[in-house]
Structure 1
Amino acid sequence: MAEDSPAWRTRSGDSLPEVFRSIGVPANARFWTKLGAFSGPGYLVAVGYMDPGNWATDLAGGSQFGYTLLSVILLSNVMAILLQALSAKLGIVTGRDLAQACSDHYSRPVGFMLWVACELAIVACDLAEVIGTAIALQLLFGLPLVWGVCLTALDVLLILLLQQRGFRKLEAFVIALLIIIALCFAVELALSQPAIGDVLTGFIPTTQVVTNPAMLYIAIGILGATVMPHNLYLHSAIVQTRAFERDDAGKREAIKYATLDSTIALMLALFINAAILILAASTFHVAGRTDVAEIQDAYQLLAPMLGVGIASTLFAVALLASGQNSTITATLAGQIVMEGFLNIRLPPWQRRLITRLLAIIPAVTVAALYGESGTANLLVLSQVVLSMQLPFAVIPLVAFTSNRAKMGKFVNPAWLKWGAWLIAAVIVGLNVKLLLAFVGIG
């Protein structure tokens, strides 16, 4: 059960009760053994940072602007590492996930608004996964987009099977797919032979990102695709699957290993996100193909432009693995958010089916009416919607972890507190800038 404290109004139930504290942590073990016991949640979180929505924004950014937006990917990843560390700390210290903490702290109307915002983010994320998986099925097997979108509803069965086999099995499945994605892109980078100097220069920030509306739109999409709002809810819950000691020393150790786990996993996400943009820049942008913004176009052009037939196949395999991986984390996040905010408990497969159907309806409609170009635009737009929801998760997270009454001796030190608030301000500022630019004011 959640920790007792005068700062919390109610006593909250266990987060994800079916797997709560279900994974043992060996006492007096060596560093690597302990790290292995805590490793897993970070990779489930990292999945959300390399889902099909990232592919659309990274491809568009690389083909249109070369390596310039690598700086945005790097900045987003630094933000993600810090925010996910705070999310893990909140769950470990308080025994509450972020949804439960919000429900306890805010009034019912505010809590309801935050729940709606988070549900929109999950549906937007699920929309990206639906479209990405459908595109991968089309590229690999020639399945029409509409059929592929409908077929994604069946992955509910895969999620149910994995959850029944235990949380460790689910983590292992996710990590295996991540390894496949990373290997595919390692080969793609070797084939595309990017200019190393230009790549390194791309990681240096430039004012163009803010002053160019077209570049800003893609940058916000990258930010929305990289720092995922529902991942903050997810991480604060799944770190509680570890049966660590509940005293101060046990919590401190759990925070250390959970932060290491998520940081290592997010460095893998940085590699994959950067690899997608670098591949687009080194293959399409340098050849003058600045119009490649759709996954299907990238698939068709990779093999002839790189001169290797397997390049396109690897691209599609990685996309399919990415889409399937992302379905798992969206399921868990949806369950956490609904239970934490509304205290409504549904079987995971029912919660998954509801979320998936909400994503399938717009995806099928757009695929049927507008075809490939419509789904590509919807994919990028879904990432901008995600970015718009970020403040509603980031601000409560930073506020709670900076509150001594709620966190006790684990409260954020001053440097971390102000660094986290700076990140929150940057996120809100970029979103305001984007909105003003699109209404013709900025």
Structure 2
Amino acid sequence: MESVLYKKYQDTLSSWCKGEELDPAHAILIAGVAEDVSISQIEELMQTVRCWGRVRVRGRTYSVEAGGLLVLCECKEEIKPQIVPPEVRSDDGTIVWHIVVVDPRPDLSDASEDFVGKLQSFLQAEGKTIADLQDYVATSAPAKGTEEFFIHAMAEVMKQSNRGMAESHSYRRLRVFSGITPTPMGEEQVEYWLEQATVMVEGSDCPEKEKRRRIIESLRGPALEIVRSLRFSNPEASSDEYISAIDRAFGSPETGEDLYFAYRLIQQKSGEMLSDYVQRLEPFLAKVVRKGGVRAQDMNRVRIEQLLRGAVGADIMLLQLRLKEKRANPPTFLELLSQIRVEEEHERSRRKVHARVRSVGAQDCVSATDFDLQELRADVKALQAKMSELKVKSNPVSKESVSTKVQVR
């Protein structure tokens, strides 16, 4: 937007705020809004920008120069011109609105003041101050010089910030959870939502404020009301406290001790592989830890003890893995699962070898039996041939003796 036109819109904003008895520090002017855009659409799009909080439309007027409507908006948060974006765009890029504030933009001709203002805004967004940066430089600056190290420190801070911003734009959103029973289609059950939220909070490098925002944007209905109540009573509540509130309101009412005893009763099913049994135990064990039934540092030991107790169909494999000897220094879940899978593969290989040996032995026995049977058949045929030969030789003698007897008579 041209500077002359921007200055004119600033004057319009100031006059409009006086007429509406609106504090200019909580007001912004939107230029270029199409006439067919409703107030609810304007407020919804503007509230996607976090720097001014909740937005409410206070008035609209048509402007030929803007090519559309000028919209006066009241913001919940105080407007800080240094961090206000010059324009707002929709996700698909089809909507572009120019933003005007009363306070003038930083004077670009004064490079030093512009740098200091941007540096203060940047450090404030990161939860730091210039004093913190100066203390870090004073305590860590090497012999090569403070100025050079200050530049290096700023580069590191910028690198961490860019990594956090990249994560903020690329993270996988939490599934929606409302706490309504039965669970509506498209929403997550409380146990699965708690697992996802816990992983996000523990594994993300983003600021605490961003973690809280991610949790809130995934909640609906009764679940959102629970977090709102928590924020009202404790505005500084952490993301862990948000998750704990949802767990207490909608999670299992069982205590950590009850869940631990139930965990100790889980046994291996008939025909179930030991690796499958371990994987079936792990989500339940994580739930026990989350409820306080077991300390996180004791998970590996408890897992080994339950294997020795509940793996009723894998005694030989447990001996081969020597799990009793590993109680003092138990492996992690991934290490244990890898060891079990390797041993299961060895067991399958041994079974294949034994099956081949039995098959070859059975074939040898069948071959020897067939050979004896053939030899016996040959002997029988030879004996039959000899008997036939004897019969032929005995027939002439029989006939001659019969004829002689007839002549005598």
Structure having the larger proportion of residues in strand = 2
| TM beyond 0.5 | no
Structure having the larger proportion of residues in helix = 1
Give the TM interval when normalised to the shorter protein. under 0.3
Bigger relative contact order, structure 1 or 2 (CA pairs below 8 A, ≥6 apart)? 1
Q: TM-score, normalised by structure 1?
A: 0.20
